C-alpha cells in the first residue's frame, strides 16, 4: 500500500480542482471527393465544454445518445486530440506535453469502457490484460507482476486464479470487472467511466456500481461518470452536468439538479425518469420533446436547444447564444429564460 500512499500523497487536498477543462472542442472533418478530398464541413461533437472536476468527487455527465458525452471523455484523456481548448490535469496542461511525457502522465488517468466485450483483447489472457499497464509503466515484473495481478483480481471480486483464462470464458459482468482491474492497476487519480453498466444485465448493474463506489473510497479516486440513466447518475454522483448537442447546458449539485432543475432540457429528461410511487407518477407532468436533436454537423443558431424547447421565444432564443451563468449558488445554466 506504500505505492498507493505515494501516488495519492496529494489526496489530502480533497475538493481541490484535479481536472480543469477549458473551452474544449472536438470537431471531426467532413470531406468530399474521391481523389482530391476537400473539407466541406465538420461534425461538432464537443463544442466549447468547460468543467472543473474536484479531487475525490464523482461528476456525472448525462444527455441523449449522440450528444458528445463519450467523445468528451476520450478527448479529456487525449485518446482523441482536441481541436481546440485545454485540459489541465493537476496543474499540468496535457496539450503542451511531449508524446513521451504524455505517456508517462497516463499512469494518473485511466478509462473504463462501455462495452466489456469489445474492450478486452480476445487473444490475451486475463493476466496479460491486467498486467500490461504495469509492464508499460515499469511498475512490476516477474513474480511480483503475477502477485499484483492476482491482488487486483481479488480487489474487484474475481478469483485470483483466473489469470490464465481468456475473456470469452467470462460473463459480461465479470469482463467489466476485468476492465476495472486494468484501470486501477497503475494507481490512477482520475478515471473516466464511459457508461460502464449500460451493456450489462440489470441484475449485475448494482454490483458494478457498488464496486466502483468501494474502490473510490479505498483509493481516493476521482470519477467522470458518463451515462444516460438518470437514476444511476443520481445514485453515484456528487455533481451532475447535462449535455446537449456538444454543449453543457446545466451543472449543479446532484440534489439541487434533481429537485429543482432550471434548464428546460433538464426538466424534460427528469420528467421521463420512472418513479416507483403510482400516485406520484400519475400526478406529475411529463414533458414530451418534439422532433429529433439537430445534426452536430449543422447546429442551429442561437441556443442549440431552441428547435425543441417548449418555452422558446422567437427573436431571442433562435438568435442569441445564451450566457453561461450561475443562477443560484452552485447551479449554472445556459438559458435565456431560466430563473
Q: Can you spell out the DSSP letters for 281-336?
A: HHHSPP-PPPS-PPPTTSPPSSSTTTTT-TT--TTTTTTSPPPEEEEETTEEEE-S
Residue-level length of the chain: 339
Burial class of residue 229 (count of CB atoms within 10 Å of its CB; 0-12, 13-18, 19+): middle
Dihedral (Cα; 145, 149, 154, 160), 10-degree rounding: -90
pLDDT at 282: 67
Q: What is the pLDDT of residues 47-63, one digit of tens each?
A: 999 999 999 999 999 99
Q: CB-hemisphere CA count at 13 Å for 76?
A: 32
133-183 per-position pLDDT tens digit? 999 999 988 999 999 999 999 999 999 999 999 999 999 999 999 999 999
Q: What is the pLDDT of residues 94-117, one digit of tens each?
A: 999 999 999 999 999 999 999 888
pLDDT of residue 12: 40
DSSP character for 277?
Answer: -
Q: What is the mean pLDDT of the chain?
A: 90
DSSP state of 151: H
Contact (Cβ atoms closer than 8 angstroms) between residue 52 and residue 66? no
Nearest to 10 by CA among 234, 190, 153: 190
Residue with cell 448537442: 245
d(CA 141, CA 106): 19
For the CA atoms of 156, 129, 194, 330, what is the dihedral angle to 10 degrees? Answer: 60
Domain boundaries, the chain: 2-29+41-334
φ, ψ for residue 134, nearest 5 deg: -65, -40
CATH number, span 2-29+41-334: 3.40.50.300
Closest by Cα among 138, 141, 181, 133 to 157: 181
List beta partners, residue 25. Answer: 47, 84
Is the pTM value of this prediction over 0.85?
yes
Amino acid at each position: 500500500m506504500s505505492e498507493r500512499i505515494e501516488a495519492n500523497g496529494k489526496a489530502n487536498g480533497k475538493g481541490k480542482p484535479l481536472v480543469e477543462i477549458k473551452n474544449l472542442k472536438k470537431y471531426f472533418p467532413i470531406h468530399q471527393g474521391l481523389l482530391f478530398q476537400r473539407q466541406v464541413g465538420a461534425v461538432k461533437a464537443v463544442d466549447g465544454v468547460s468543467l472543473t472536476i474536484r479531487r475525490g468527487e464523482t461528476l456525472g455527465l448525462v444527455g441523449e445518445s449522440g450528444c458528445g458525452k463519450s467523445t468528451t471523455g476520450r478527448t479529456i484523456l487525449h485518446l482523441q486530440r482536441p481541436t481546440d481548448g485545454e485540459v489541465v490535469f493537476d496543474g499540468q496542461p496535457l496539450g503542451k506535453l511531449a508524446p513521451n511525457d504524455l505517456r508517462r502522465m497516463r499512469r494518473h488517468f485511466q478509462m473504463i469502457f462501455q462495452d466489456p466485450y469489445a474492450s478486452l483483447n480476445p487473444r490475451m489472457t486475463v493476466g496479460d490484460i491486467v498486467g500490461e499497464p504495469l509492464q508499460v509503466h515499469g511498475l512490476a515484473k516477474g513474480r511480483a507482476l503475477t502477485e499484483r495481478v492476482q491482488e487486483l483480481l481479488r480487489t474487484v471480486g474475481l478469483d485470483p486464479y483466473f489469470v490464465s483464462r481468456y475473456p470469452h470464458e467470462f460473463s459480461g459482468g465479470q469482463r467489466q470487472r476485468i476492465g476495472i482491474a486494468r484501470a486501477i492497476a497503475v494507481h490512477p487519480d482520475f478515471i473516466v467511466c464511459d457508461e460502464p453498466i449500460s451493456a450489462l444485465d440489470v441484475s449485475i448493474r448494482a454490483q458494478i456500481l457498488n464496486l466502483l463506489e468501494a474502490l473510490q473510497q479505498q483509493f481516493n479516486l476521482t470519477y467522470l461518470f458518463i451515462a444516460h440513466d438518470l437514476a444511476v447518475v443520481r445514485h453515484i454522483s456528487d455533481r451532475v452536468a447535462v449535455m446537449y448537442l456538444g454543449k453543457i447546458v446545466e451543472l449543479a449539485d446532484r440534489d439541487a439538479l434533481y429537485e429543482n432543475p432550471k434548464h428546460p432540457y433538464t426538466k424534460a429528461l427528469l420528467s421521463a425518469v420512472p418513479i416507483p410511487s403510482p400516485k406520484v407518477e400519475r400526478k406529475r407532468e411529463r414533458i414530451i420533446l418534439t422532433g429529433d436533436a439537430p445534426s452536430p454537423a449543422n447546429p442551429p443558431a442561437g441556443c442549440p436547444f431552441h428547435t425543441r424547447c417548449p418555452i422558446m421565444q422567437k427573436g431571442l432564443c433562435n438568435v442569441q447564444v445564451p450566457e453561461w451563468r450561475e443562477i443560484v449558488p452552485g447551479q449554472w445554466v445556459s438559458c435565456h429564460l431560466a430563473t
